[in-house]
Structure 1
Amino acid sequence: MPKAALDSFDRKLLTIVQHDADLTAEALGERVGLSASAVLRRLKRLRAEGVIVASIALVDPARVGKPTSFIVALEIERERPELVARLRKWLAEEAQIQQVYYVTGSADFILIVTAPDVEAFDALMSRLMVDNPNVRRFTTNVALGVGKRSLFVPIPRDGT
């Protein structure tokens, strides 16, 4: 996918809306030096171009039952494209799997998983192994605490 052409206004907007997507167009315009209508046009274009892929609410886990976070390293048997594609689809469809990274190193995938408890996590991983025979094994780290939780993408000012 080609890199989007972003000017300094786009870059400022992207940085601001990553911190607070609820700001009004007027408030955003004041911060970046544009009219509200110009801000709305830019945000619409950034969404249409796939630069902004979603505007979401970040939920505090402690307020909704404090689920446990697990960092999982998956190893697969074969790197055949159709098998990897099937596994990726399965992982993407599981709500408890928050993030999936296809990586280099001893693991093939790193997953960030949230579950209400260890039993629910164990059930998910059992289904993973049954439904995906191409998964050789997995190792799990349980997060004891969270020092930072973010999906913020730093936007370079100069376009590099």
Structure 2
Amino acid sequence: MAALTLDDLDHHLLDLLQRDASRTLRDLGEEVGLSPSAVLRRVRRYRTSGLLSHTVAVLDPRHAPEVVLAVCLVTIQEDSPEHGRLFRRRLLEAPEVQQAYEVSGDYDYVVVLATVGTGHQNEIAKRLFQQDPNVKRYTTLFVLDPLRTGSAIPTRRP
């Protein structure tokens, strides 16, 4: 698939959508200077290309007092393609995994978990990490204060 080419209006529209995807096509169009139908065509193009994967409601964890956020740093024993596929599939299937990244450096993966209480967090860590013989070690960092959460990514340099 060819790379999606974005113009200035696309960048502006994507920024607006990432901030509040519930805005109407008319409202978005007024902001970027396009008709609602032109905005819809662009949004459909983002979806078709895979750039816009899905639309969600983002909850603020500070207002969900039972939620426990944790960042897990994971080191894998053997980095074979089969082990990697199995580990990745387990991460992708676990709804508690909010984010997962394969990284460079001392760790192989960074995994962000959201659970309800520490008991639930321990359950999930055991299932994802402790019971996997290919996980050499993992470290859990509990989030004490979620200063800033979000999922917006830049589409161009400022």
Task: Tell me the TM-score range normalised by the shorter chain.
Answer: over 0.9
- Partner-residue secondary structure (3-state), 2:74: strand
Q: After superposition, what is the alpha-carbon deviation per residue over 1:45-94, rounded to whole angstroms, capped at 9, x for unaligned?
A: 11101111111100133444430111100111111011101100001100
For structure 1, which runs of at least 5 residues remain unmatched after alignment? none
Show the counterpart of 2:111.
Answer: 111
Show the counterpart of 2:133.
Answer: 133
Find the aligned partners of 1:78 and 1:114 in 2 and give their Cα distance: 27
Q: 1:157 to 1:99 in 2, by over 3 A?
A: closer
Find the aligned partners of 1:65 and 1:157 in 2 and give their Cα distance: 36
Matched, 1:57 2:57: yes
Superposed CA RMSD in Å reads: 1.7
Show the counterpart of 2:74.
Answer: 74
Equivalent pairs, count: 158
- Counterparts of 1:27-46 in structure 2, within 5 Å, are 27-46=27-46
Find the aligned partners of 1:91 and 1:65 in 2 and give their Cα distance: 24
Find the aligned partners of 2:132 and 2:66 in 1 and give their Cα distance: 29
Please give the TM-score of this superposition, normalised by the length of structure 1: 0.92
Find the aligned partners of 1:129 and 1:7 in 2 and give their Cα distance: 43
Q: After superposition, what is the alpha-carbon deviation per residue over 1:112-133, rounded to whole angstroms, capped at 9, x for unaligned?
A: 0111111111111111245522
Q: Percent identity?
A: 33
- Partner-residue secondary structure (3-state), 2:14: helix
Find the aligned partners of 1:117 and 1:32 in 2 and give their Cα distance: 43
For structure 2, which runs of at least 5 residues remain unmatched after alignment? none
Please give the TM-score of this superposition, normalised by the length of structure 2: 0.93
- Asked if the contact 1:8–1:157 (Cα under 8 Å) also holds between the matched residues in 2, the reply is no
Find the aligned partners of 2:129 and 2:34 in 1 and give their Cα distance: 52
Find the aligned partners of 1:87 and 1:35 in 2 and give their Cα distance: 45
- Partner-residue secondary structure (3-state), 2:145: coil
Q: Structure 2 counterpart of 1:94, which letter?
A: A
